[in-house]
Amino acid sequence: MNRVVNPEQIAQSLDELWSPRVVGEVDEVFIKVAKVHGQLTWHAHEHEDELFLILRGRLRIEMEHETVVLNAGEMFIVPKGIRHNPIANEECLLLLVEKKSTLHTGDVVINQTRSIADQLRPIE
């Protein structure tokens, strides 16, 4: 993946909501983009932190003891083991930084859950 990419343009081009796609990797970390709207599900990543960087729009991340609201250009790291539920009331484009071992919906499997192989599919 040695190429120049525009994460915001790639995220905007995605057809599926809540379906992250890998756009790069650094050592043992994937750089992913996603287009989201609505809510995903309450879940946790037991052994991995998860970084959210908002490219466009607004994202609310509910956690059991706190809620954060992120606007374009802002980022937040959900610490490992913290149950969280990302919600976008309007379309939102985001960049995620996650260890390669991070499961999409962590400890929960739902219809929107995407495997690592699915997230690695070529972007058209």
Looking at domain 7-119, its CATH architecture is Sandwich (2.60)
Q: What share of the chain is helix, strand, coil (3-state, %, to 5)?
A: 10, 45, 45
Domain ranges of the chain: 7-119
pLDDT in single tens digits along all 124 residues of the chain: 568 999 999 999 999 999 999 999 999 999 999 999 999 889 999 999 999 999 999 999 999 999 999 999 999 999 999 999 999 999 999 999 999 988 777 787 777 878 777 877 888 7
Separation in Å, CA 22 to CA 76, 105, 124: 19, 15, 13
